[in-house]
Amino acid sequence: MILVLPRLYLGNINDVADVEHLQKTGITHILTVDSVKPDLTLFQTKFVNLLDDSSADMLSCLAECLNFLKEALALPETSVLVHCHAGVSRSAAVVIAYLMNTTKCTYEEAHRRLQDAKSDIKINQEFVNQLGLFESMGCEVDMTSASYKQYRLQKLTEKYPELQRLPREVFALDPSSIAQTKEVLYRCRKCRRSLFRAESILNHSLGAGPMAFAHKRLTIPNSSDSTKCTSYFIEPVQWMEESLLGVMDGQLLCPRCHSKLGSFNWYGEQCSCGRWVTPAFKVHKNRVDEVKPLLI
C-alpha cells in the first residue's frame, strides 16, 4: 500500500485483506475497481465492476469514482485506499485521473508523478487511450461532448451482437417532442419534420480526400470541394430506435414522410472526405435544412 497524496493510498487485494493494518493506517474509505467485490464491513466503500482488458469502459464510471474520492477526502480525519487486484492498472488509472482532475495536469505528468511513488504501475493501453480522451475534455467526463459520444458508441459497437436492446441514454432527444427551442435544428427537406439538433453532430477530422478512394479507381474532380463532407455523422436520435435494433446496417428514413435521409452501419462508413467513422449514423446534407432560431 503506497501513499500517493496526503490521505490517499494505492494498493492491491492483499492490502484489503489486512484489516488490522488498514485500521492502523487510518483508512476509513475504500474504492474497489475490480471484477470481484470484497467483503468490507468496517469501512465506507464503493465498488466499481471493471475488467482489465481492451473492451473495458473505465471512462463511463470515472465520474462516480472521482466523486467518491473527493467527497471522502473533503471530510476531516479520513483516508482513502484505491485498489484493484494487482494495484498496477485499474486502480492506478483512477488515481491518475484524480491527479489530472484536481491539478489539471496532463496524463504524462500525472503518470510520472504516480510512477515516482509506485514504480511498478503498468496501465492497460485501453485505459491510457481513455485517459487521453479525459484530458482532451479538460480532465472532466463531459457526456455532452462529441468526442465522448463517439467513444460511447464505439464501445457499444464492440458488444453490439450481444445487446438485446440499446441503452436509453445512447439516444438523443427527438427535437419534434420539444414545443419550442432556441437551438439550431435540422429538418427533413421534404416534409419539414425536425430530425436532430446541432449538438448531435459528431464532427470528425477531415480525411485524405480523393486519395482515400484510390482503391476504388474512381475519377474524382481535383478541387477543394472533393475533400468536403457531404453528410452529417450524428449520434442516434430517439426516432431511429426501431430501425437500429437487430441489424448491423440499413437506411435512415424520415419518420414522417419516409424519404431516404442516409444510412447507418455499426461497423462504420467512409465519409466523402475519406475519413472512416465507426459506428456511422449518416444523414446526407442535401436531404435536410439547417434551421436557426430568429433573434428578436
Is residue 2 within 8 Å of residue 117, measured between CB atoms?
A: yes
Residue 148 lies inside a defined structural domain of this protein: no
Q: Within this chain, do residues 106 and 177 fall inside the same structural domain, yes or no?
A: no
Domain containing 55 — which CATH number?
3.90.190.10
Residue 82 lies inside a defined structural domain of this protein: yes
Tell me which of 65, 84, 254, 273 is the catalytic residue. Answer: 84
Residue 197 lies inside a defined structural domain of this protein: yes
Asked whether residue 25 carries a pLDDT value surpassing 80, the answer given is yes
Asked whether residue 214 carries a pLDDT value surpassing 60, the answer given is no
Question: Quick one: average pLDDT of 242-247?
Answer: 84
Residue 83 lies inside a defined structural domain of this protein: yes
Q: How many domains does the chain have?
A: 2
Question: Quick one: average pLDDT of 235-251?
Answer: 90
Q: Within this chain, do residues 134 and 252 fall inside the same structural domain, yes or no?
A: no
Of the chain, the percentage scoring pLDDT greater than 90 comes to: 76
Q: List the domain range (segments joined by +) for residue 127.
A: 2-142
Q: Residue 21: what are its φ and ψ, rounded to 5°?
A: -65, -40
Angle at 253 between CA 249 and CA 255, to 5 degrees: 130
Please report where in the chains the cell 458508441 appears, as a residue.
153
pLDDT in tens, 152-173: 999 888 876 655 677 888 899 9
Q: Within this chain, do residues 76 and 190 fall inside the same structural domain, yes or no?
A: no
Q: Within this chain, do residues 134 and 220 fall inside the same structural domain, yes or no?
A: no
- Choosing from 142, 160, 179, the residue where a domain stops is 142
Asked whether residue 223 carries a pLDDT value surpassing 50, the answer given is no
Residue 200 lies inside a defined structural domain of this protein: yes
Query: What's the pTM value of the predicted model, to 2 decimals?
Result: 0.83
In b/e form, how buried is each residue of 143-159, taking b as 16+ CB within 10 angstroms? eebbebbbbbbebbbee
Structure confidence at residue 208 (pLDDT): 77
Query: Which of the two residues, 165 and 203, has the higher pLDDT score?
Result: 203
pLDDT in tens, 65-88: 999 999 999 999 999 999 999 999
Q: Is 188 in the active site?
A: no
Reported as a pLDDT band with limits 50, 70 and 90, residue 216 is low
Residue 13 lies inside a defined structural domain of this protein: yes
Residue 149 lies inside a defined structural domain of this protein: no
